[in-house]
Structure formats: structure tokens, C-alpha cells
Amino acid sequence: MARPSPFTAPLSDRRSTGFLLVFALAYVGGVVGYLPLLTLLLPIKVDAVAGAGRLGVLTAIVVAGALAASVSNIVFGWLSDRAVTRGGGRRAWLAGGLVATMLSYAAIAATTSAMGLVLAVVAFQVAVNALLAPLLAIMADEVPDAQKGVAGGLLAMASPVASALAAALVATALLGDSARLAIVALAIAGCTIPLLLTRAQLVVEGESTGPTPAVLRRDLALAWAARLFVQIAGSALMVYLFYYLESVAPAEAPGTIAARMGMVMIVAYTVPLPIAVLVGRLADRYGRTKPFLSAATIVAAAGLVGMAVADSFAVGAIAFCVYAAGASVFLALHASFAMQLLPSPRHRGRDLGLLNLTNTLPGLLGPLLTWALATPTDFRAVMLVLAALTLCGGLIILFARGRR
């Protein structure tokens, strides 16, 4: 049992809309912490320090970074669990992760060698997971189950905001690499500090009439597997979407495809936001999340099948947007659903760190699957396999018995 803390407000069975928005803003800060860097700013930096050897350096960074992220998220989740048990709360670890992340950005900006960049990015992955691990555990601790659907839906705003920031930074030619990294670091702080200024307010836990810990552990394993299957498609598309669009529009110049792809990404990440919030609200209202999760995978799989049969840029882009809508809703709802399956309040941070492996492992599995099944001019087979895996994820989640 956690000891009382002066940093903890009285227990509550409901949180205000204001707190949910403040938490969602902090999560935006967490995603801003890694998405602009890993998708756009890092390749630019790698090109500057590695030149012709950029592919090898980027591969080393991806592999080393994924391993560092996997381990550090579990470790910092466990450390924040210990802090709660001792009455200290998770916000101190969140603040430490924020400071470490900003320092890691300074290290990335200052490095001038390929090896130095690999080490700086590994340090960044450790730092940003020191921020993300306690952040998501705060949601598990402080947002009641009856509001987790809406809270999860609000998390969907993170990707479009982070993507828009990344696009704006790259489009502003007057900014140098260091200035771009500094702006991202300041944005992380601006989004996270409001949550740090709030006091912890733990959820009131009723009598133990729900599923047993053994059932919850089984269900959490099923939820882990379901998210892993769905995330494999997302990781493959993040790496190979440009080449896919090139394959369905071979007559268009690469520069034209890149510009049109930017607009597609903005639409694909923005449209799901109101849908995710609405679906999350419905899940809270009816107390049923699994049917919505399964339906979201059907939509995502339909988009992938559409991408498999597309014969033009427009058809492929529309199909990708359909996929993104289903996948974004699934991932947003899954975050709140999985938090309701954590078997012990004492180990929420650690267990969420284990669940985070479904974000890092697909970063290795998805590209390998695409490399094995796709060619530069034909992505049909891999899209159909990804659709089947996504449907499997939706089917697996239905076997969870502890929550509806």
C-alpha cells in the first residue's frame, strides 16, 4: 500500500475535463519529443554527419534506439512504481525525464560524428522513455475507468500536432538544425509543465468484485498480442509509405510524390482525432470497449486491402487514410482498455513498460516483413499480409474476459 504523500490530493472517482485536457497536452509533449526527431530531423542530421554512409548509420541508430527504448521504458516504469509505493509520486520522475530529454536534444545538436550521433540518440531514447513511462502510468493511476475512453481518444491529438510541427520546422528554410531541435525541446517543456503543476489525485478503488489478477494477467497478455499485430502494419508503413506511393504512381516525379504525401499525412492523422474522441465517449457510456476495438481493426484492414489493389496515387492515398482512421482509433482506445487490465496498482508503470514493447518490437518486425515480401514496384502481397495481421489483432482482443 502506498504511503500518504503531501503531493497527493484526496482520492476521487472522477476527474475534470480540464485535467483530462492537461494530461492530453502532456502526452502531446511526449509524442512531440520523439516523432519530429525520428521521422524528419534525425535523417537530416544523419545526412550531415555521415554523408554516403547514412543508411548504415541510420540502421544502427534504429536498432540501438529500439533496444534502449524497450529496456528503459520498463525500468523507469518500475522506478516510478517504487516512488508511488514510498509516497513520492510519479511527477518527480516525469520532471526528471523532461530535463533529461531536453539535455539529450542539446547533445544531438552538438554532435559532429556518426558514432557520437548513435550514442546521443541512445541517450535520447533513454531520456524520452524516462518521461513517457511515468506519464502513461499517471493516466492509469488518476483517470477513472469510466473516463478512460475519452482520455484515450484525446491522446489521438498527439500525432497530428507532432506531425504538423515537424512539417513546419522542415518547411522553414531559415531555421538551422540546432534551432529546429531547440524549438522541439521547448515545445516538449511547454506541453509537459502544466501537468507537473497539478497534484496527484488517485482514483477511488471500490471493493474487489472485478476480475481476479490471474484473469487480468491473461487478458493483458491478449491485449499485448493484439496491439503487436496491429502495430506491425503501422511500423512498416511509417518506413515504406513513400516507396509504396511511388509504386502506385510510377509516372510521377519523386518530388511531387513527397509533396503530396505530406498533405496525405496531415489528413490521415487529423481526421481520426474527433472520431477517436467520439468512439471513446461511446465506449465509456456503454461500458464496452472490445466491440469498438474489433471494429476499428476491420476498418484498418479494409484500408490495407484497398492499398493492395490501388492502381493510382489517389486511390492509394484514400485507402491509407482509411487505414489510418481505423488504426488510430484502435491505438487510442487500446491504451485506455489495457490500463483497465493492469493486475496490480503497485506495478502499473512496469506493466505498461512491458506493454510498450508492442511499440518498439514492430519497429524491427514490420520493415523485415516488408523487405521479405515487397518489391520496389509491388507492395500487394505485404499489404494483404498486414491486413490479415491487423484482423488477427482485432480477433484476439475479443477473447479478453475481464473487461467488456
Q: Does 208 map to a domain?
A: no
Q: Does 4 map to a domain?
A: no
Q: Does 197 map to a domain?
A: yes
Distances (CA, A) of 20 to 26, 95, 138, 146, 195: 10, 19, 11, 13, 10
Q: Count how many domains the chain has.
A: 2
Average pLDDT rounded to a whole number, residues 294-309: 95
Pairwise CA distance, residues 257 & 242, whole Å: 8
Instruction: Pick 3 or 297 by higher pLDDT.
Output: 297
Q: Does 165 map to a domain?
A: yes
pLDDT in tens, 94-109: 999 999 999 999 999 9
Look at residue 113 and tell me whether its pLDDT is greater than 70: yes
338: CB partners within 8 A, 6+ apart: 220, 223, 224, 227, 352, 355
**Pair 145, 271 in one domain:** no
**Pair 188, 240 in one domain:** no
**Pair 91, 199 in one domain:** yes
- Which cell numbers in the block locate residue 139? 493516466
Q: Does 2 map to a domain?
A: no
pLDDT at 353: 81
**Pair 240, 97 in one domain:** no
pLDDT at 2: 46
**Pair 256, 174 in one domain:** no
Average pLDDT rounded to a whole number, residues 22-43: 85
Report helix, strand or coil for 202: strand
**Pair 265, 337 in one domain:** yes
Average pLDDT, the chain: 83
Q: Would you tell me how many other CB atoms lie within 10 Å of the CB of residue 214?
A: 10
**Pair 169, 232 in one domain:** no
Look at residue 349 and tell me whether its pLDDT is greater than 70: yes
Span of 19-23, 75-79, 268-272, 382-386 with lowest mean pLDDT: 268-272
- The 8-class DSSP code of residue 120 comes to H
Cross-strand partners of 378: 375
Q: Phi and psi (nearest 5°) for 340? A: -80, -5
pLDDT at 207: 47
Which CATH number do you get for residue 64? 1.20.1250.20
pLDDT in tens, 237-296: 876 777 788 888 888 777 677 677 777 877 887 888 888 888 888 887 877 888 899 999
**Pair 179, 299 in one domain:** no
Look at residue 1 and tell me whether its pLDDT is greater than 60: no
**Pair 170, 239 in one domain:** no
Q: Does 1 map to a domain?
A: no
pTM of the model: 0.75
pLDDT band at 90 (very low <50, low <70, confident <90, very high): confident
Task: Give the residue numbers spanning the domain of 69.
Answer: 11-203
**Pair 73, 29 in one domain:** yes
Q: Does 24 map to a domain?
A: yes
Helix H or strand E segment including 274: helix 272-286
Is 240 within 8 Å of 316 (Cβ atoms)? no
Instruction: Pick 4 or 247 by higher pLDDT.
Output: 247
Q: Which of 178, 203, 228 is the last residue of a domain?
A: 203
pLDDT at 242: 76
Pairwise CA distance, residues 226 & 300, whole Å: 13
271: CB partners within 8 A, 6+ apart: 321, 324, 325
Average pLDDT rounded to a whole number, residues 143-167: 79
**Pair 164, 60 in one domain:** yes
Look at residue 52 and tell me whether its pLDDT is greater than 90: no
Q: Which of 166, 182, 203 is the last residue of a domain?
A: 203
Q: Which of 181, 203, 225 is the last residue of a domain?
A: 203
Cross-strand partners of 181: none
Pairwise CA distance, residues 322 & 315, whole Å: 11
Report helix, strand or coil for 9: strand
pLDDT band at 137 (very low <50, low <70, confident <90, very high): confident
Most confident of 118-132, 149-163, 167-181, 340-354: 118-132
pLDDT at 211: 57
Pairwise CA distance, residues 404 & 18, whole Å: 27
pLDDT band at 208 (very low <50, low <70, confident <90, very high): very low
pLDDT at 12: 57
In 244-306, the DSSP E strands lie at: none
- Which cell numbers in the block locate residue 62? 534504429
- Which cell numbers in the block locate residue 287? 461500458
pLDDT at 251: 80
**Pair 157, 228 in one domain:** no
Pairwise CA distance, residues 349 & 83, whole Å: 10
Cross-strand partners of 8: 200
Q: Does 6 map to a domain?
A: no
Span of 54-58, 161-165, 285-289 with lowest mean pLDDT: 54-58
